[in-house]
Structure 1
Amino acid sequence: MQQPIGIFDSGVGGTSIWKEIQKLLPNENTIYLADSKNAPYGAKTKKEILELSVKNTELLLQENCKLIVVACNTATTNAIDYLRATYEVPFIGIEPAIKPAALKTKTKKVGILATKGTLSSSLFHSTSKIFAEGITVLEQEGTGLVELIEANKVNSKTTTELLKQYINPMLEQDIDCLVLGCTHYPYLIPALRGLLPQKVTIIDSGEAVAKQTNAILIKNQLLAKKRDNTKHIFLSNSNTEVLKSMVEGANVEVTYLNF
């Protein structure tokens, strides 16, 4: 089926998920919504997050998307149950990778860097309770990080200093896994590698989300046939330059849209 996969996030961060999906599913068309004007979602109320998620979903459905990836941890934890109950298309959500971290840790101490909206959600707490029994999960709000990534300041001194402030207390508690609980944060991995000891494993959700997307497409008989002319459309309601720098390619189109 040649209808596109729809993807939305509170900005450019979900492109880290898009890259994994595109790598695993090269025959699929995609449409990506970057709601950068309203970033970050993590600081908003549950009602605001739900309203934005509905707006993004309906825009993607107008584009005839066959499946929607909620490429935002905050939107997933606060809105995906409502979206699944309201719309007929399949939804793929993003949750912090607590389970793989809990299975991998040897010190039984895991750090999670995420937004306030994710850490305060009931879905996050229920997931942690199920998978992290006997594990100490050290939560840290990544206040300000999304804004720096949206401003293309990933390698700035400000970003490095902020990461040190967030990471060092977790290192003092002897974590050996760091879960990135926001789809923007994989863009910080090079900076984090310079701050973390070698024993600390960084875990994000990108590959697992791509595999789940593939599985749901197969289950619903929605996989695209082999083709050479795939198209990837990126729509942003803010400055498109950062988005363009992250998704350059011959079959990629980045456009401003006031939504």
Structure 2
Amino acid sequence: MSKDSPIGIFDSGVGGTSIWKEIHELLPLEHTIYLADSDNAPYGEKPEEEIKRLSVKNTEKLLEMGAKIIVVACNTATTNAIKHLRSTYNLPFIGIEPAIKPAALYSRKKCIGILATKGTLSSELFAKTSDLYSKDTKVVEVVGSGLVELIERGRKDSPEMEKLLTSLLQPMIDAEIDYLVLGCSHYPFIIPTLKKILPPKVSFIDSGMAVAKQTRLVLRSLDLLTESRQHKPEFFTNGDPHILDRIIPAPSDTFSISYMDF
């Protein structure tokens, strides 16, 4: 592996592009390769062994493409599979976990909400993190059932999405949370709808920038930060490329998208 090898990123679909955006902005010279496993989305309702199998599949493909580091841009895959990946492969993995710590720290009302998938909220890693950082804070956990599916279908701004979120978020509104942790990399794309439903006092926290900074830190510590020219980001999906094209937070002429069966 060399400094000019790519940063590999994978997610259960298009949501992890919210993580890619932060990495690309912080490390613009780096070559990034993104895998959207949309054909198998969502991961959140799958059993742990299936999540591990899919994570291994994605990892193997990124290794074939020469990745020097792999970012697991999926909360469910991180909480259920990253320990297995780190023990199996000899390269660094960066995971993404719900940002419970800053939410609990900043909350004045000591009442926060966590919107995440079933796979994340039921994982051992999430339980440990929540117990560690939210002892003095009321935590309202809500499973975002159906949200990833709508986003993957290009329906993130639809009336259907607003109706579903209105129903899901009612327990958080009733509890008067002041911070909402977005525990899935898909969810930053529905912040405009979340703002329409939740009181203005509610702040949102996701893990994108923290993941980007950790990626830079690890690459720097291994002397693997690139010193060459900027590369054009590459995106690959086994789903509909048009949906990925519409959701990537960058001008369409600055990256490439290809369909790939993986």
| Aligned-partner SS, 1:41 | coil
Aligned to 2:232: 231
Q: CA deviation at 1:226?
A: 4.4
TM-score (ref. length: structure 2): 0.97
| Aligned-partner SS, 1:43 | coil
TM-score (ref. length: structure 1): 0.98
CA offsets, 1:224-259, max 9 Å, x none? Answer: 11414x121111001110111123433411000011
Q: Which amino acid aligns with 1:249?
A: S
Could you tell me which runs of 5 or more consecutive residues in structure 1 were left unpaired when the two chains were aligned.
Answer: none
Q: Aligned equivalents of 1:161 and 1:122: distance in 2?
A: 31
Q: Which amino acid aligns with 2:261?
A: N
Q: Which amino acid aligns with 2:102?
A: P
Q: Aligned equivalents of 1:176 and 1:223: distance in 2?
A: 38
CA contact (8 A) 2:9 2:34 kept: yes
Q: Aligned equivalents of 2:156 and 2:247: distance in 1?
A: 12
| Aligned-partner SS, 1:250 | helix
Q: CA deviation at 1:168?
A: 1.8
- Does residue 1:250 correspond to 2:253, yes or no? yes
Aligned to 1:103: 105
CA contact (8 A) 2:4 2:228 kept: no
Could you tell me which runs of 5 or more consecutive residues in structure 2 were left unpaired when the two chains were aligned.
Answer: none
* Superposition map of 1:1-259 within 5 A: 1-228=3-230, 230-247=231-248, 248-259=251-262
Q: Which runs of 4+ in 1 moved over 6 A?
A: none
Q: Which amino acid aligns with 1:115?
A: T
| Aligned-partner SS, 2:151 | helix
Q: CA RMSD in A?
A: 0.9
| Aligned-partner SS, 2:129 | helix
Identity %: 57
CA offsets, 1:185-228, max 9 Å, x none? Answer: 00001111111212111111111111111111101111011414
Q: Aligned equivalents of 2:211 and 2:135: distance in 1?
A: 24
Q: Which amino acid aligns with 1:237?
A: N
| Aligned-partner SS, 1:94 | coil
CA offsets, 1:111-134, max 9 Å, x none? Answer: 000000000000000000111111
Q: Which amino acid aligns with 1:243?
A: L
Q: Aligned equivalents of 1:197 and 1:128: distance in 2?
A: 24
Q: Aligned equivalents of 2:254 and 2:172: distance in 1?
A: 42
